[in-house]
Amino acid sequence: MSARIRATASAIVLALIIAAPAHAQVSSAPLAQVDPWGVGWLRSNEGPLPTAIWANTTGDVLAPLYASLQPQQLSPAGRAALRRIALSSAKAPTDGAALLPERLRIIEQLGETERSIDLRKRFASTAWGKGHERLASEYELVQGQSQTACARVADKRGDDNDWMPVRAFCLALAKDFNGATLVGEHLPPGPDGKTDPWLLAAISAMDPAVKARPEGRYTNAFEAAVSVAARLSVPVNGFAATP
């Protein structure tokens, strides 16, 4: 999508916010909430949007708008406006279920990871909700709560691919560098089918005997936690996209 289309999409969404009056919302929907779109976290004094904001709108229409929104590229005012969209409770747009991963992405990139974990946990049986515990562990790691995060890993199977990166990191935190390297060498490939060597190199750099050090990564909570623990360098604008 071109920069012009992205800018137009953002302007349309932000215009919706400016035109919409604030209405009070319940700060958090009950666990029995049927519709994930109906879960919101804004208090009445935070300017939540009216629940009918997406009335007469379809998921197909909103999909390119949501995909174009990159919180890290917005001004503080733009981020504040987008936060009102992402955290407001609303009636779902028609066929809006497919947009929920995009809503979660935006919530996380706005730095509201706890809200994303909350929503995923409420709907743990969905494809996008089942990873809530892994996300919670990453959030705990970046918050310095490694004991709690690593306790979660202890309950998982050793061959569970989803947990292998966190397991390797937790072993390194415990100074079991041989174990961390063994797990790191068996990390599953990414979506592109290729194994990213960065994590193994970063975890290895936590060993004082290792001199080679990759550049730090700060594009998500887990990589930021690893980079900080390994005392890796911070690239220019390294924290720009960190949730």
Give me the pLDDT at residue 181, please: 94
pLDDT score recorded for residue 239: 52
User: Which segments in the chain show pLDDT lower than 70?
Assistant: 1-34, 236-243
Residue 176, pLDDT score: 97
- Enumerate residues 6+ apart whose C-beta is below 8 A from 125: none
DSSP 48: P
Residue 10's pLDDT is 56
| Pair 136, 114: CB distance under 8 Å | no
Query: In sequence order, which residues have a C-beta less than 8 Å from that of residue 100 and are 6 or more positions away?
Result: 36, 37, 126, 128
pLDDT of residue 55: 87
What pLDDT is recorded for position 72? 85
pLDDT number for residue 128: 96
Q: Quote the pLDDT of residue 32.
A: 42
SS3 21: coil
State the pLDDT at residue 56.
87
